[in-house]
Structure 1
Amino acid sequence: MLLLFRKPGQSITIQPAPEVDLTAPLGTVFENGPIQVRVNRIIENEVKLGIQAHPDLMILREEISPNYPPAPPPSPSGLMEGQIRTILARNISHYRHARQWSAQQLAEQANLPLTTLTAMEQGIGTITLDDLDRVALALGIGVAELLRE
Protein backbone atom coordinates (compact mmCIF):
# COMPACT_ATOMS: atom_id res chain seq x y z
CA MET A 1 0.00 0.00 0.00
CA LEU A 2 1.28 3.43 -0.97
CA LEU A 3 0.88 6.15 1.69
CA LEU A 4 0.58 9.77 0.59
CA PHE A 5 -0.01 13.08 2.32
CA ARG A 6 -2.20 15.51 0.38
CA LYS A 7 -2.87 19.17 1.10
CA PRO A 8 -5.96 21.05 -0.11
CA GLY A 9 -5.85 21.40 -3.88
CA GLN A 10 -3.24 18.67 -4.45
CA SER A 11 -4.20 15.60 -6.43
CA ILE A 12 -3.12 12.14 -7.48
CA THR A 13 -3.55 10.32 -10.78
CA ILE A 14 -3.97 6.58 -11.21
CA GLN A 15 -3.08 5.36 -14.68
CA PRO A 16 -1.60 2.31 -16.43
CA ALA A 17 2.14 1.82 -16.24
CA PRO A 18 3.88 2.46 -19.59
CA GLU A 19 4.55 -1.24 -20.19
CA VAL A 20 0.88 -2.26 -19.76
CA ASP A 21 -0.90 -3.60 -22.84
CA LEU A 22 -3.90 -1.27 -23.16
CA THR A 23 -5.71 -3.81 -25.33
CA ALA A 24 -5.78 -6.36 -22.48
CA PRO A 25 -9.13 -6.87 -20.76
CA LEU A 26 -9.88 -4.38 -18.00
CA GLY A 27 -10.57 -7.24 -15.61
CA THR A 28 -6.87 -8.08 -15.39
CA VAL A 29 -6.27 -4.82 -13.49
CA PHE A 30 -8.82 -5.92 -10.90
CA GLU A 31 -7.77 -9.58 -10.63
CA ASN A 32 -6.35 -8.93 -7.14
CA GLY A 33 -9.34 -6.85 -6.06
CA PRO A 34 -10.50 -3.28 -6.48
CA ILE A 35 -8.47 -0.10 -6.10
CA GLN A 36 -8.76 0.84 -2.45
CA VAL A 37 -8.28 4.40 -1.19
CA ARG A 38 -8.25 4.73 2.58
CA VAL A 39 -8.05 7.89 4.68
CA ASN A 40 -5.51 6.96 7.34
CA ARG A 41 -5.17 10.24 9.18
CA ILE A 42 -6.12 13.91 8.98
CA ILE A 43 -3.66 16.43 10.43
CA GLU A 44 -4.65 20.09 10.14
CA ASN A 45 -4.67 20.72 6.35
CA GLU A 46 -3.22 17.35 5.33
CA VAL A 47 -4.92 14.05 4.65
CA LYS A 48 -2.84 10.87 4.80
CA LEU A 49 -4.16 8.45 2.17
CA GLY A 50 -3.38 4.79 1.69
CA ILE A 51 -3.86 3.51 -1.85
CA GLN A 52 -3.80 -0.16 -2.76
CA ALA A 53 -3.96 -1.05 -6.44
CA HIS A 54 -2.75 -3.59 -8.99
CA PRO A 55 1.02 -3.26 -9.70
CA ASP A 56 0.27 -2.41 -13.35
CA LEU A 57 -1.29 0.86 -12.19
CA MET A 58 0.90 3.84 -11.36
CA ILE A 59 -0.15 6.29 -8.67
CA LEU A 60 1.35 9.66 -9.47
CA ARG A 61 1.53 12.83 -7.40
CA GLU A 62 0.91 15.89 -9.55
CA GLU A 63 3.93 17.76 -8.17
CA ILE A 64 6.30 14.96 -9.20
CA SER A 65 4.92 13.90 -12.56
CA PRO A 66 2.30 16.31 -13.91
CA ASN A 67 2.83 15.43 -17.59
CA TYR A 68 3.48 11.71 -17.89
CA PRO A 69 4.87 10.61 -20.30
CA PRO A 70 7.37 13.34 -21.21
CA ALA A 71 6.70 15.37 -24.33
CA PRO A 72 8.59 14.56 -27.57
CA PRO A 73 12.18 15.84 -27.69
CA PRO A 74 13.02 19.18 -29.33
CA SER A 75 15.28 19.37 -32.34
CA PRO A 76 18.93 18.69 -31.38
CA SER A 77 19.90 22.24 -32.35
CA GLY A 78 17.42 23.58 -29.77
CA LEU A 79 19.35 22.19 -26.78
CA MET A 80 21.70 24.43 -24.85
CA GLU A 81 24.95 23.15 -23.35
CA GLY A 82 24.28 21.07 -20.24
CA GLN A 83 20.54 20.92 -20.87
CA ILE A 84 20.60 17.23 -21.83
CA ARG A 85 22.01 16.40 -18.37
CA THR A 86 19.12 18.29 -16.76
CA ILE A 87 16.60 16.47 -18.95
CA LEU A 88 18.20 13.10 -18.19
CA ALA A 89 18.30 13.81 -14.45
CA ARG A 90 14.65 14.90 -14.39
CA ASN A 91 13.49 11.89 -16.41
CA ILE A 92 15.36 9.31 -14.35
CA SER A 93 13.89 10.82 -11.19
CA HIS A 94 10.43 10.99 -12.81
CA TYR A 95 10.36 7.35 -13.90
CA ARG A 96 11.86 6.18 -10.59
CA HIS A 97 9.23 8.04 -8.58
CA ALA A 98 6.48 6.82 -10.90
CA ARG A 99 7.49 3.27 -9.98
CA GLN A 100 7.73 4.23 -6.32
CA TRP A 101 11.34 3.06 -6.15
CA SER A 102 14.05 4.45 -3.96
CA ALA A 103 17.34 5.41 -5.60
CA GLN A 104 18.85 2.31 -3.99
CA GLN A 105 16.19 0.07 -5.56
CA LEU A 106 16.79 1.50 -9.04
CA ALA A 107 20.57 1.25 -8.62
CA GLU A 108 20.19 -2.43 -7.69
CA GLN A 109 17.81 -3.12 -10.59
CA ALA A 110 20.22 -1.39 -12.99
CA ASN A 111 23.27 -3.10 -11.47
CA LEU A 112 24.93 0.26 -10.86
CA PRO A 113 26.58 1.74 -7.77
CA LEU A 114 24.22 4.04 -5.89
CA THR A 115 26.75 6.87 -6.30
CA THR A 116 26.56 6.55 -10.10
CA LEU A 117 22.76 6.66 -10.12
CA THR A 118 22.70 9.57 -7.67
CA ALA A 119 25.13 11.51 -9.89
CA MET A 120 22.91 10.82 -12.91
CA GLU A 121 19.86 12.15 -11.05
CA GLN A 122 21.83 15.26 -10.09
CA GLY A 123 23.08 15.82 -13.65
CA ILE A 124 26.74 15.50 -12.71
CA GLY A 125 29.61 13.09 -13.30
CA THR A 126 30.52 10.87 -16.21
CA ILE A 127 27.61 9.01 -17.79
CA THR A 128 28.36 6.12 -20.12
CA LEU A 129 26.04 4.70 -22.74
CA ASP A 130 26.14 1.40 -20.86
CA ASP A 131 24.93 3.18 -17.70
CA LEU A 132 22.06 4.77 -19.64
CA ASP A 133 21.16 1.41 -21.13
CA ARG A 134 21.16 -0.29 -17.70
CA VAL A 135 18.90 2.39 -16.20
CA ALA A 136 16.50 2.28 -19.15
CA LEU A 137 16.29 -1.52 -19.01
CA ALA A 138 15.68 -1.45 -15.25
CA LEU A 139 12.86 1.07 -15.76
CA GLY A 140 11.40 -0.93 -18.65
CA ILE A 141 11.77 1.90 -21.19
CA GLY A 142 14.05 2.80 -24.08
CA VAL A 143 17.10 5.02 -23.74
CA ALA A 144 15.36 7.59 -25.94
CA GLU A 145 12.66 8.02 -23.26
CA LEU A 146 15.33 9.04 -20.77
CA LEU A 147 16.49 11.80 -23.11
CA ARG A 148 13.09 13.20 -24.12
CA GLU A 149 12.51 16.80 -23.09
Structure 2
Amino acid sequence: LRYEAAEHGEMKPQQVVEMLYKVTDGKAIVTSDVGQHQMFGALYYKYDEPRQWINSGGLGTMGVGLPYAMACKLAFPEKQVVCITGEASIQMCIQELSTCTQYGIAVKILCLNNRSLGMVKQWQDMNYEGRHSSSY
Protein backbone atom coordinates (compact mmCIF):
# COMPACT_ATOMS: atom_id res chain seq x y z
CA LEU A 1 0.00 0.00 0.00
CA ARG A 2 1.40 3.34 -0.99
CA TYR A 3 1.19 6.73 0.65
CA GLU A 4 3.08 9.99 0.32
CA ALA A 5 5.86 10.42 2.88
CA ALA A 6 5.47 13.18 5.43
CA GLU A 7 7.57 16.32 5.16
CA HIS A 8 9.78 18.16 7.63
CA GLY A 9 10.59 15.23 9.91
CA GLU A 10 6.96 14.40 10.63
CA MET A 11 5.59 10.87 10.48
CA LYS A 12 2.33 9.78 8.93
CA PRO A 13 0.17 7.31 10.85
CA GLN A 14 0.98 4.65 8.25
CA GLN A 15 4.69 5.08 9.00
CA VAL A 16 4.05 4.88 12.74
CA VAL A 17 2.24 1.54 12.38
CA GLU A 18 4.96 0.20 10.08
CA MET A 19 7.54 1.22 12.71
CA LEU A 20 5.48 -0.53 15.39
CA TYR A 21 5.69 -3.71 13.32
CA LYS A 22 9.47 -3.37 13.16
CA VAL A 23 10.04 -2.66 16.86
CA THR A 24 7.79 -5.56 17.91
CA ASP A 25 9.33 -7.93 15.34
CA GLY A 26 5.77 -8.46 14.12
CA LYS A 27 5.00 -10.59 17.16
CA ALA A 28 2.70 -8.33 19.18
CA ILE A 29 -0.98 -8.87 19.75
CA VAL A 30 -2.51 -5.65 18.44
CA THR A 31 -5.92 -4.35 19.49
CA SER A 32 -7.93 -1.40 18.24
CA ASP A 33 -11.25 0.34 18.45
CA VAL A 34 -13.03 2.14 15.61
CA GLY A 35 -11.62 5.04 13.63
CA GLN A 36 -8.98 5.87 11.06
CA HIS A 37 -6.39 4.37 13.41
CA GLN A 38 -8.19 1.01 13.05
CA MET A 39 -7.77 1.18 9.28
CA PHE A 40 -4.07 2.03 9.60
CA GLY A 41 -3.58 -0.82 12.09
CA ALA A 42 -5.35 -3.28 9.81
CA LEU A 43 -3.47 -2.26 6.67
CA TYR A 44 0.07 -1.44 7.78
CA TYR A 45 0.93 -4.01 10.49
CA LYS A 46 1.71 -7.34 8.84
CA TYR A 47 -0.08 -10.00 10.86
CA ASP A 48 1.75 -13.32 10.66
CA GLU A 49 -0.21 -15.36 13.20
CA PRO A 50 -3.89 -16.06 13.84
CA ARG A 51 -5.66 -14.03 16.53
CA GLN A 52 -2.96 -11.37 16.46
CA TRP A 53 -5.34 -8.54 15.37
CA ILE A 54 -8.19 -8.00 17.84
CA ASN A 55 -10.95 -5.48 17.09
CA SER A 56 -14.70 -5.34 16.68
CA GLY A 57 -14.60 -5.35 12.89
CA GLY A 58 -17.30 -3.12 11.47
CA LEU A 59 -19.37 -2.75 14.63
CA GLY A 60 -18.22 0.83 15.18
CA THR A 61 -17.25 0.50 18.84
CA MET A 62 -15.18 3.37 20.19
CA GLY A 63 -13.19 2.82 23.34
CA VAL A 64 -12.80 -0.95 23.31
CA GLY A 65 -9.15 -1.10 22.22
CA LEU A 66 -7.71 -0.69 25.72
CA PRO A 67 -10.07 -3.20 27.40
CA TYR A 68 -9.31 -5.67 24.58
CA ALA A 69 -5.59 -5.14 25.19
CA MET A 70 -6.03 -5.68 28.93
CA ALA A 71 -7.89 -8.94 28.35
CA CYS A 72 -5.26 -10.15 25.88
CA LYS A 73 -2.44 -9.36 28.31
CA LEU A 74 -4.22 -11.24 31.11
CA ALA A 75 -4.80 -14.23 28.80
CA PHE A 76 -1.28 -14.17 27.34
CA PRO A 77 1.01 -12.48 29.91
CA GLU A 78 4.15 -13.55 28.05
CA LYS A 79 3.12 -11.71 24.86
CA GLN A 80 3.65 -8.08 24.00
CA VAL A 81 0.26 -6.37 23.64
CA VAL A 82 -0.25 -3.00 21.94
CA CYS A 83 -3.46 -0.99 21.63
CA ILE A 84 -3.64 1.26 18.57
CA THR A 85 -6.19 3.93 19.39
CA GLY A 86 -7.16 7.51 18.59
CA GLU A 87 -7.39 10.53 20.85
CA ALA A 88 -11.19 10.38 20.90
CA SER A 89 -11.45 6.61 21.41
CA ILE A 90 -8.99 6.53 24.30
CA GLN A 91 -11.13 9.13 26.10
CA MET A 92 -13.94 6.57 26.26
CA CYS A 93 -11.94 4.30 28.57
CA ILE A 94 -8.91 6.25 29.84
CA GLN A 95 -9.97 5.43 33.41
CA GLU A 96 -8.92 1.82 32.77
CA LEU A 97 -5.30 2.93 33.07
CA SER A 98 -5.89 2.90 36.84
CA THR A 99 -7.01 -0.73 36.54
CA CYS A 100 -3.84 -1.52 34.60
CA THR A 101 -1.77 0.08 37.35
CA GLN A 102 -3.70 -1.59 40.16
CA TYR A 103 -3.35 -5.08 38.69
CA GLY A 104 0.00 -4.74 36.91
CA ILE A 105 -1.42 -5.14 33.40
CA ALA A 106 1.48 -3.97 31.25
CA VAL A 107 0.01 -3.03 27.88
CA LYS A 108 1.38 -0.47 25.46
CA ILE A 109 -0.82 2.25 23.98
CA LEU A 110 -0.15 3.84 20.61
CA CYS A 111 -2.45 6.86 20.33
CA LEU A 112 -2.68 8.32 16.83
CA ASN A 113 -3.88 11.90 17.28
CA ASN A 114 -5.39 13.47 14.17
CA ARG A 115 -6.93 16.32 16.18
CA SER A 116 -10.46 15.50 15.08
CA LEU A 117 -12.90 12.66 15.03
CA GLY A 118 -11.04 11.71 11.87
CA MET A 119 -13.34 9.09 10.44
CA VAL A 120 -16.44 11.18 11.24
CA LYS A 121 -14.84 14.19 9.57
CA GLN A 122 -13.80 12.06 6.58
CA TRP A 123 -17.39 10.87 6.06
CA GLN A 124 -18.71 14.39 6.47
CA ASP A 125 -16.25 15.61 3.83
CA MET A 126 -17.29 12.82 1.45
CA ASN A 127 -21.05 12.88 1.98
CA TYR A 128 -21.97 16.34 3.25
CA GLU A 129 -19.79 18.69 1.20
CA GLY A 130 -17.49 19.31 4.16
CA ARG A 131 -20.20 20.47 6.56
CA HIS A 132 -18.80 19.38 9.90
CA SER A 133 -20.80 18.72 13.03
CA SER A 134 -19.70 16.83 16.12
CA SER A 135 -16.06 17.05 15.07
CA TYR A 136 -13.84 19.11 17.31
TM-score if structure 2 supplies the norm length? Answer: 0.25
TM-score if structure 1 supplies the norm length? Answer: 0.24
Q: Comparing both structures, which one devotes a greater share of its residues to strand?
A: 1
Over alpha carbons, which structure has the higher Rg? 1
